[in-house]
């Protein structure tokens, strides 16, 4: 068995010529033509001493031993006159072992190389086993299954092009019968098996390995269907391309080689950007696809001619086929851009515009280093899959637009996943109404009776730092200008005087418009003067200092900006890190219960959560959900502080953050504002919550000048003792985990405008 099959099968397989020898016996005793009787008798006499040919054998070496005898025995089935035309061989049933080849089949295998092993295409072991079982049902049980599963051999030719051959099998000389160990399933079981073709284990239970005998030989005939298979593969590849997860498919080029029968083939495709009137590469396929012809074509013409050509292609999209570039006009060969073809060894090509509804979508190129590889007949083959290319490009374009819209929604709007269902419901109603030619006014999107959670991690004293760094930048700029003017002649004295006035103003009595007036002086007078110095004859020292000065000027505002840029970079890094931690932990929070979440970056990161039954009406909502989310929020704020502590030392400017959580028990409503494309707390009553949030940032401890927030500590602001007990429990849990210290402070918050009675806890990070 091991010599015959590489796969597990329900058969014991024997090579046998019994059924064909029986045919010869019938001719010998029943045929009326004497020459046929003598022919049959002669063959039977030659084989009578080799019982294994009738009884069956499993030793494959006997095929070679009896090769000439088998060839003589099967000569009626393999006519000599057709041996150079037919691709045919005898075969062990359902195996890759073939013998007694026609001459054409021999030559095909010879071209494939001595190391090539012939194998069935695209069938795994489980599928093969079930197919063998179906063969038993078809032959032994006489079930009309009509199994039409196509089998193929993939065999490379001498040039390396993969050729595809469809296999037809004649099994007239094979038989199937059960062994003593075989299970004979009932009709009901057979019906059940046919309903579960993909359940390999079920089939194996009723048809165990080697429980049946398959005896005889088959005749396999091959038909070259390379173009059909390649066309099918092309369509499959184009349909299976996932625009969300594009991956280069290197097999695509090999399929084109098979389809066009061109071993030295390259393929390229560029999309047409209608807005900018230019061709664009597909970035993911940049290393796989070529664009030599398109580069040659683009470089041949000026912009105006090229745009006119694109316009003309919309109305006359006739492809270009050049069998050999030697056939091109001398005028074309003399163009400088023609070297693109020479350098890339292109001697034959096709350029095919893809147009739909008089609009150019893309241009394809096929190139080859071998002259006369392409011609009108090859171009004709394009018609068979041009519709599929159109489909793929349209699908890609649609998915591209869809993904861009998704990016815009994700990055530039505030429609969170937890509430998008309500927007979708309204959009669906609007869409259905438009289909029915009815008018539908979109309703406001709002959610009522939600519990809010608010917190922030604020960069402490960022405004003060920015002001001091602004003074440093401007003083450095004034000092640099003084150095330049000290080297120039008396005409710069007025600028020196103006600089001294600004320097005194910046460092003593700075005014609200000091920076703006300094900018105007630079833009309107000093910078034009210095630019002129660079263009006229000046000393090398002066020119060097002026160039060094302009290298430090920030082009957008004409000012030195290095120190403030370091601060901006530091704030950006802090915001990004804090926001990333918040976003990552949101995955865990959404699993507690879906809720609306938003965050904002400024000088620090603040976040809002809104939780309630209306956000996810299909889920069971209970009060414990709020407690779990409040504990999650406190843990997350602690994690943000820890992450900040870890990378604080790497910041260009040293910064500190102070974190706060505000606990609010009253319910609020939120409404989507169409004008600003974001959610806001809705109603005058709910605005009280927003007022508190805005005033907590700068709030002080009552009867003290200390802020309630403090770097390295978490501040929790709340109303009433119930919230205090709840958060002390959370703090205690985090203290046991070593996240917070045992230094809880109980504070009273100063009375804010219209707001009294606020309390606070403050605790240090461990």
Residues 343 and 375 in one domain: yes
Residues 599 and 675 in one domain: yes
Q: Which long-range contacts (CB under 8 A, 24 or more apart) does 684-689 make?
A: 689/452, 689/664
Strands (E), 357-443: 359-368
- Is 501 inside any structural domain? yes
Are the CB atoms for 294 and 354 separated by under 8 Å?
no
- Is 22 inside any structural domain? no
* Interval 476-498 mean pLDDT: 84
pLDDT (0 to 100) of residue 18: 92
**Which of 346, 380, 395 represents a domain boundary (last residue)?**
395
Residues 655 and 722 in one domain: yes
Other Cβ atoms closer than 10 A to 101? 18
Other Cβ atoms closer than 10 A to 246? 14
Radius of gyration of the chain (CA): 42
* Interval 50-57 mean pLDDT: 90
Q: Which residue has the higher pLDDT, 3 or 353?
A: 353
Q: Is the pLDDT of residue 5 over 80?
A: no
At a CB cut-off of 8 Å and minimum separation 6, what does 553 contact?
A: 477, 527, 559, 560
Closest to 653 measured CA to CA, from 572, 711, 566, 712 = 566
Tokens at residue 99, please?
A: 């013998």
Give the Å distances, CA to CA, from 363 to 344, 354, 389, 400, 671: 19, 6, 11, 18, 49
Strands (E), 55-188: 87-91, 98-99, 151-156, 162-170, 174-178
Tell me, rounded to whole angstroms, the distance of Cα 329 from its chain centroid.
Answer: 45
Q: Is the pLDDT of residue 3 over 60?
A: no
pLDDT (0 to 100) of residue 406: 63
pLDDT (0 to 100) of residue 410: 59
pLDDT (0 to 100) of residue 147: 55
| Residue listed under structure tokens 């049959």 | 40
What SS3 state is found at 649?
Answer: helix
Of the chain, the percentage scoring pLDDT greater than 90 comes to 32
Q: Which residue has the higher pLDDT, 292 or 404?
A: 292
Confidence band of 627 (pLDDT split at 50, 70, 90): very high
* Interval 569-594 mean pLDDT: 93
Q: Is the pLDDT of residue 288 over 70?
A: no
Residue 209 sits at the vertex; the CA angle it makes with 204 and 215, to the nearest 5 degrees, is 120
Q: What is the pLDDT of residues 181-206, one digit of tens each?
A: 888 888 888 888 888 888 888 999 99
Lowest mean pLDDT among 364-373, 535-544, 717-726, 745-754: 535-544
pLDDT (0 to 100) of residue 664: 94
- Going by the DSSP 8-state scheme, the letter that residue 701 receives in this structure is B
Are the CB atoms for 265 and 370 separated by under 8 Å?
no
Residues 662 and 740 in one domain: yes
What SS3 state is found at 45?
Answer: helix
Residues 82 and 219 in one domain: yes
- Is 450 inside any structural domain? no
pLDDT (0 to 100) of residue 132: 86
* Interval 520-548 mean pLDDT: 87
How far is it, in rounded angstroms, from Cα 172 to Cα 270?
A: 54
pLDDT (0 to 100) of residue 1: 38
Confidence band of 296 (pLDDT split at 50, 70, 90): confident
How far is it, in rounded angstroms, from Cα 90 to Cα 216?
A: 11
* Interval 441-452 mean pLDDT: 87
Q: Is the pLDDT of residue 50 over 70?
A: yes
**Which of 366, 395, 424 represents a domain boundary (last residue)?**
395
Are the CB atoms for 350 and 321 separated by under 8 Å?
yes
Residues 241 and 211 in one domain: no
Other Cβ atoms closer than 10 A to 316? 9
pLDDT (0 to 100) of residue 388: 76
Q: What is the pLDDT of residues 560-581, one digit of tens each?
A: 999 999 999 999 999 999 999 9
Residues 587 and 548 in one domain: no
Are the CB atoms for 740 and 635 separated by under 8 Å?
no
- Domains identified in the chain, total number: 4
- Is 446 inside any structural domain? no
Sign of the dihedral defined by the CA atoms of residues 411, 413, 416, 417, in that order: negative
Residues 217 and 242 in one domain: no
pLDDT (0 to 100) of residue 139: 81
pLDDT (0 to 100) of residue 2: 39
Region of residue 112 (phi > 0: left; psi between -120 and 50: alpha; otherwise: beta): alpha
Residues 571 and 547 in one domain: no
Tokens at residue 650, please?
A: 């790497």
Which CATH number belongs to the domain containing residue 342 in this structure? Answer: 3.30.450.40
Strand partners, 383: none
Region of residue 75 (phi > 0: left; psi between -120 and 50: alpha; otherwise: beta): alpha
pLDDT (0 to 100) of residue 248: 45
Q: What is the pLDDT of residues 334-366, one digit of tens each?
A: 888 888 888 888 899 998 888 888 888 888 889
pLDDT (0 to 100) of residue 149: 62
pLDDT (0 to 100) of residue 572: 93
Q: According to DSSP H, which parts of 48-118 are helical?
A: 52-55, 61-65, 67-73, 103-112
Residues 700 and 637 in one domain: yes
Are the CB atoms for 659 and 714 separated by under 8 Å?
yes
Q: What is the secondary structure of 5-18 as a DSSP string?
A: -SS--SEEEEE--H
pLDDT (0 to 100) of residue 674: 73
* Interval 136-155 mean pLDDT: 77
pLDDT (0 to 100) of residue 232: 79
Q: Is the pLDDT of residue 148 over 60?
A: no
Q: Is the pLDDT of residue 644 over 90?
A: yes
Closest to 453 measured CA to CA, from 122, 85, 729, 723 = 723
pLDDT (0 to 100) of residue 135: 83
Q: What is the pLDDT of residues 66-111, one digit of tens each?
A: 999 999 999 999 998 999 999 999 988 777 788 999 999 999 999 8
pLDDT (0 to 100) of residue 255: 83
Residues 730 and 755 in one domain: yes
Distance between start and end Cα atoms, the chain:
71
Are the CB atoms for 453 and 629 separated by under 8 Å?
yes
- Is 415 inside any structural domain? no
Q: What is the pLDDT of residues 115-138, one digit of tens each?
A: 787 777 777 888 888 888 888 888
- Is 21 inside any structural domain? no
Q: What is the pLDDT of residues 227-285, one digit of tens each?
A: 888 777 777 776 665 545 544 456 778 888 888 888 888 888 888 877 777 777 766 55
Other Cβ atoms closer than 10 A to 294? 19
What SS3 state is found at 296?
Answer: helix
How far is it, in rounded angstroms, from Cα 216 to Cα 151?
A: 20
Are the CB atoms for 346 and 372 separated by under 8 Å?
no
Are the CB atoms for 638 and 730 separated by under 8 Å?
no
Containing domain of residue 478, as a range? Answer: 463-561
pLDDT (0 to 100) of residue 303: 73
Residues 234 and 369 in one domain: yes
Q: What is the pLDDT of residues 149-184, one digit of tens each?
A: 678 888 888 888 888 898 888 888 989 999 988 888
Closest to 206 measured CA to CA, from 178, 230, 234 = 178
Give the Å distances, CA to CA, from 595 to 447, 605, 616, 689: 11, 19, 8, 18
* Interval 687-704 mean pLDDT: 88
Q: Is the pLDDT of residue 317 over 80?
A: no
- Is 454 inside any structural domain? no
Chain mean pLDDT for the chain = 85
How far is it, in rounded angstroms, from Cα 632 to Cα 200?
A: 48
- Is 607 inside any structural domain? yes
Q: What is the secondary structure of 322-343 as a DSSP string?
A: ES-GGGS-HHHHTSGGGHHHHH
**Which of 395, 414, 439 represents a domain boundary (last residue)?**
395
């Amino acid at each position: 068995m091991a010599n015959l099959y590489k796969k597990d099968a329900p058969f014991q397989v024997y090579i046998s010529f019994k059924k064909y020898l029986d045919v010869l016996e019938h001719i010998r005793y029943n045929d009326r033509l004497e020459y046929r009787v003598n022919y049959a008798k002669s063959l039977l006499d030659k084989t009578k001493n080799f019982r294994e040919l009738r009884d069956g054998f499993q030793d494959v070496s006997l095929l070679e031993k009896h090769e000439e005898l088998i060839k003589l025995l099967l000569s009626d089935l393999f006519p000599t006159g057709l041996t150079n035309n037919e691709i045919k061989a005898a075969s062990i049933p359902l195996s890759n072992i073939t013998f007694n080849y026609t001459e054409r089949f021999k030559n095909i295998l010879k071209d494939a190389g001595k190391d090539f092993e012939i194998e069935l295409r695209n069938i795994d072991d489980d599928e093969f086993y079930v197919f063998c079982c179906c063969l038993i049902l078809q032959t032994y049980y006489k079930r009309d299954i009509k199994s039409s599963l196509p089998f193929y051999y993939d065999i490379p030719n001498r040039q390396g092009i993969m050729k595809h051959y469809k296999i037809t099998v004649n099994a007239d000389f094979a038989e199937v019968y059960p062994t003593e160990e075989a299970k004979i399933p009932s009709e009901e079981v057979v019906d059940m098996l046919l309903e579960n073709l993909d359940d390999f284990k079920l089939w194996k239970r009723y048809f165990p390995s080697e429980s049946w005998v398959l005896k005889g030989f088959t005749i396999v005939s091959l038909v070259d269907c390379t173009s059909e298979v390649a066309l099918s593969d092309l369509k499959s590849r184009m349909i299976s391309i996932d625009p969300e997860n594009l991956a280069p498919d290197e097999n695509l080029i090999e399929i084109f080689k098979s389809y066009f029968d061109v071993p030295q083939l390259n393929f390229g495709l560029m999309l047409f950007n209608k807005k900018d009137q230019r061709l664009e590469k597909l970035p993911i396929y940049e290393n796989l696809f070529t664009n030599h012809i398109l580069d040659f074509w683009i470089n041949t013409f000026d912009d105006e001619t090229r745009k006119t050509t694109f316009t003309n292609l919309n109305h006359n999209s006739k492809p270009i086929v050049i069998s050999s570039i030697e056939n091109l006009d001398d005028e074309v060969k003399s163009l400088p851009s023609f070297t693109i073809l020479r350098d890339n060894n292109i001697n034959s090509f096709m350029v095919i515009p893809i147009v739909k509804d008089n609009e150019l979508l893309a241009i394809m190129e096929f190139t080859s280093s071998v002259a006369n590889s392409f011609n009108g007949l090859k171009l004709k083959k394009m018609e068979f899959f041009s519709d599929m290319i159109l489909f793929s490009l349209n699908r890609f374009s649609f998915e591209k637009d869809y993904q861009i819209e998704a990016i815009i929604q994700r990055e530039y709007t505030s429609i969170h996943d937890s509430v998008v269902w309500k927007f979708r419901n309204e959009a669906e109603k609007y869409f259905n109404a438009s289909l029915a030619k009815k008018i539908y006014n979109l309703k406001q999107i709002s959610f009522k009776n939600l519990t809010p959670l608010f917190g922030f991690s604020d960069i402490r004293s960022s405004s003060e730092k920015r002001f001091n760094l602004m003074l440093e930048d401007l003083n450095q700029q004034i000092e640099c200008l003084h150095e330049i003017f000290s080297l120039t002649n008396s005409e710069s004295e007025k600028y020196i005087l103006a600089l001294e006035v600004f320097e005194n103003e910046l460092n003593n009595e700075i005014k609200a418009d000091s920076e703006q007036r300094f900018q105007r002086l630079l833009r309107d007078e000093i910078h034009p003067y210095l630019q002129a110095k660079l263009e006229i004859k000046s000393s090398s020292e002066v020119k060097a200092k002026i160039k060094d000065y302009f290298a430090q000027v920030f082009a957008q505002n004409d000012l030195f900006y290095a120190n403030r840029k370091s601060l901006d970079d530091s704030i950006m890094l802090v915001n990004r890190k804090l926001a990333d931690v918040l976003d990552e932990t949101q995955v865990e929070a959404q699993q507690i219960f879906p809720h609306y979440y938003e965050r904002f970056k400024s000088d620090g990161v603040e976040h809002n959560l809104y939780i309630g039954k209306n956000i996810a009406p299909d889920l069971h909502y209970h009060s414990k959900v709020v407690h779990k989310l409040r504990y999650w929020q406190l843990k997350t704020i602690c994690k943000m502080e820890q992450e900040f502590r870890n990378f604080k030392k790497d910041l260009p400017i040293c910064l500190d953050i102070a974190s706060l959580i505000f606990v609010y028990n009253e319910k609020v409503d939120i409404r989507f504002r169409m004008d600003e494309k974001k959610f806001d707390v809705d109603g005058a009553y709910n605005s009280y919550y927003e007022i508190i949030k805005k005033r907590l940032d700068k709030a002080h401890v009552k009867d003290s000048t200390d802020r309630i927030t403090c770097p390295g500590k978490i501040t929790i602001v709340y109303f009433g003792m119930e919230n205090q007990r709840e958060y002390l429990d959370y703090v205690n849990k985090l203290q046991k985990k070593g996240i917070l210290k045992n230094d809880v402070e109980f504070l009273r918050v100063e009375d804010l405008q219209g707001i009294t009675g606020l309390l606070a806890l403050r605790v240090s990070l461990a």
